[in-house]
C-alpha cells in the first residue's frame, strides 16, 4: 500500500468552508478511483491559518495515477482552491506502508 500526502494552508476564517469544499472535491473523487483504500483529513492550528493534510491510501502507483495523471508527484488542484489556499505546494509525497496497526498487533507488540 502507498500513502499519498498533500498539505496546504488556509486562512483560519476560511477553514471550515475549505473542509466542506475538500469533502466535495478531492475527497469525493478519491472514492471513485479503483484502488483507493481510504483517506484521512487532518487540520492543525498555525495561529492565523489552518494547515490541512490529506493522507490517502492506495494499492499501487497505477491507482494513484488514475487520480493524479501520469505525473503522480504533482499536486492536483481544483479551480476553487485559489479562493482558499495561501500556498500551492507543487509536489506531494508518497510513502510505502511497511507496517500497519494489524501487522503490529500480530507481532504481539504491546502499546
Quote the number of domains for the chain: 1
DSSP state of 58: E
pLDDT tens track for 94-108: 999 998 777 777 777
Task: Give the whole-angstrom CA distance, residue 61 versus residue 50.
Answer: 29
What pLDDT is recorded for position 99?
Answer: 86
Task: Encode the chain (111 residues) as per-residue pLDDT tens digits.
Answer: 999 999 999 999 999 999 999 999 999 999 999 999 999 999 999 999 999 999 999 999 999 999 999 999 999 999 999 999 999 999 999 999 998 777 777 777 655
Query: pTM for the whole thing?
Result: 0.88
Per-residue CA distances from 45 to 8, 20, 52, 93 (Å): 12, 17, 9, 21
What pLDDT is recorded for position 58?
Answer: 97
Q: Which residues contact 17 (CB under 8 A, 6 or more apart)?
A: 84
- For cell 502499546, the residue is 111
Q: CATH no. for residue 103?
A: 3.30.70.100
What pLDDT is recorded for position 5?
Answer: 98
Q: Which residues contact 87 (CB under 8 A, 6 or more apart)?
A: 8, 9
Q: List, in sequence order, every residue forming a beta bridge with 52; answer none if it has no partner.
A: 8, 43
What pLDDT is recorded for position 100?
Answer: 78
User: Which residue range(s) make up the domain with 37?
Assistant: 2-107
Amino acid at each position: 500500500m502507498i500513502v499519498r500526502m498533500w498539505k496546504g494552508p488556509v486562512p483560519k476564517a476560511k477553514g471550515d468552508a475549505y473542509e466542506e469544499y475538500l469533502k466535495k472535491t478531492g475527497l469525493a473523487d478519491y472514492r471513485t478511483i479503483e484502488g483507493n483504500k481510504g483517506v484521512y483529513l487532518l487540520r492543525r492550528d498555525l495561529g492565523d491559518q489552518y494547515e490541512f493534510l490529506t493522507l490517502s491510501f492506495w494499492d499501487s502507483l497505477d491507482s494513484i495515477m488514475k487520480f493524479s495523471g501520469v505525473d503522480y508527484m504533482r499536486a492536483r488542484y481544483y479551480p476553487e482552491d485559489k479562493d482558499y489556499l495561501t500556498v500551492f505546494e507543487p509536489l506531494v509525497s508518497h510513502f510505502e506502508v511497511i507496517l500497519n496497526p494489524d501487522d503490529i498487533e500480530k507481532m504481539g507488540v504491546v502499546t
